[in-house]
Amino acid sequence: MRCKSHLGKANLENVNQDLEAICRRLDSAKEVLVMAGAGLSTASGIPDFRSPTTGIYSNLKEFILPYPEALFELEYFKKSPQAFNTWCKEFWPGENHQPNLGHYFLKLLEDKGKLSRVYTQNIDGLEAAAGLPSSKVIEAHGTFTTAHCTSCGGAAEIQEVRATILTDRDPTCPSCGGWVKPSIVFFGEAMPPRFFDEAEEDCEFCDLLVCMGTSLEVYPFAGIVDAPKHQTSRLLINYDLVGSIGARPNDLAMLGDIVMSVERICERLEWKEELLEVQLEKELGVQD
């Protein structure tokens, strides 16, 4: 990634919030690159990290952590894995949470041949649960689909790890006895190689960047927002104005509830029926 910091500050005065303009740009786009953050999944019942009263970091008293971020810190996990494993039991993908219309909107973009790639900070797997193929999703902060030992690095069978955690036990490595965890990226761990291998090219060739539910505060993920060409349109679908949105000439935004924004866009583009069909097909497929 060539951008490591914002090249400008958010400025609402320079942001086009006109629904017609937003829909025209989405309709004409052929290579849509998406950045997704925790705000995309809040409508699925998954809290974000930093909201003052509802965020994950503000609701960790039961774990008696030295500081909230310790829950996702590698060295702390190696000393005391119980807190993270307890958190895992509640938030394991597919156990208690399902995709919302924001996730199905991404699948609709893929069905229409518009989606280039989704870069997600989320570890909940809801992009895949909505039907997006793995080739279209880069999980920048890791995944619950694989697991490894934090001592020797050896691979572990994810279903065995899941079963162990769901029965309130802490998974251990059969080879060295070290603590095993799902392969989500902790503080102190490297991001997946795919992030660095593909992000620069995806940013170079996208004709629309869509940011959904991200604070654009965590790097290097946040650097994606400034990596496309200066004239490339950037659309923010978020609760608040963030990052450098408004610092470029073709920036657009829909602020407020993300699902409601997606519904408004799809209604105006006459995509609403298709969006609901995507959701219904996937949910019926899950039931089958």
Residue 238: CATH number of its domain? 3.40.50.1220
* Domain boundary, last residue among 184, 214, 238: 184
Same domain as 238, residue 176: no
Quick: pLDDT tens for 101-138: 999 999 999 999 999 999 999 988 899 999 999 999 99
Same domain as 257, residue 224: yes
The reply to whether 49 falls in a domain is: no
Same domain as 113, residue 85: no
Same domain as 282, residue 200: yes
Rounded Cα–Cα distance for residues 233 and 130 (Å):
26
**What is the biggest distance separating any 2 CA atoms in the chain, rounded to whole angstroms?**
59
Same domain as 128, residue 28: yes
Rounded Cα–Cα distance for residues 259 and 261 (Å):
5
Q: Which domain holds residue 270?
A: 12-44+100-140+193-287
Distances (CA, A) of 39 to 16, 29, 103, 117: 21, 24, 11, 18
| Sites in the chain below the pLDDT cut of 50 | 1-6, 53-55, 58-59, 288
The reply to whether 50 falls in a domain is: no
Overall domain count for the chain: 2
Instruction: Indicate which CATH number applies to the domain containing 89.
Output: 3.30.1600.10
Same domain as 231, residue 153: no
Rounded Cα–Cα distance for residues 60 and 253 (Å):
33
The reply to whether 91 falls in a domain is: yes
The reply to whether 148 falls in a domain is: yes
Same domain as 263, residue 219: yes
Q: Which residues pair with 138 in a beta bridge?
A: 119
The reply to whether 7 falls in a domain is: no
* Domain boundary, last residue among 127, 152, 184: 184
Same domain as 61, residue 204: no
Same domain as 242, residue 115: yes
Q: Indicate the residue type of 251.
A: D
The reply to whether 51 falls in a domain is: no
Q: Where are the beta strands (DSSP E) in the chain?
A: 32-36, 115-120, 137-139, 142-149, 155-156, 180-184, 208-212, 233-238, 251-255
Same domain as 233, residue 113: yes
The reply to whether 227 falls in a domain is: yes
- Specify the pLDDT at position 143: 83
Question: Which are the catalytic amino acids?
Answer: 141
Same domain as 156, residue 273: no
Quick: pLDDT tens for 57-110: 544 556 678 887 888 899 999 999 998 998 888 778 766 678 999 999 999 999
Rounded Cα–Cα distance for residues 60 and 70 (Å):
10
- Specify the pLDDT at position 8: 65
Helix (H) or strand (E) segment spanning residue 197: helix 193-205
Assess contact for 243 and 219: CB atoms under 8 A. no
The reply to whether 5 falls in a domain is: no
Same domain as 120, residue 32: yes
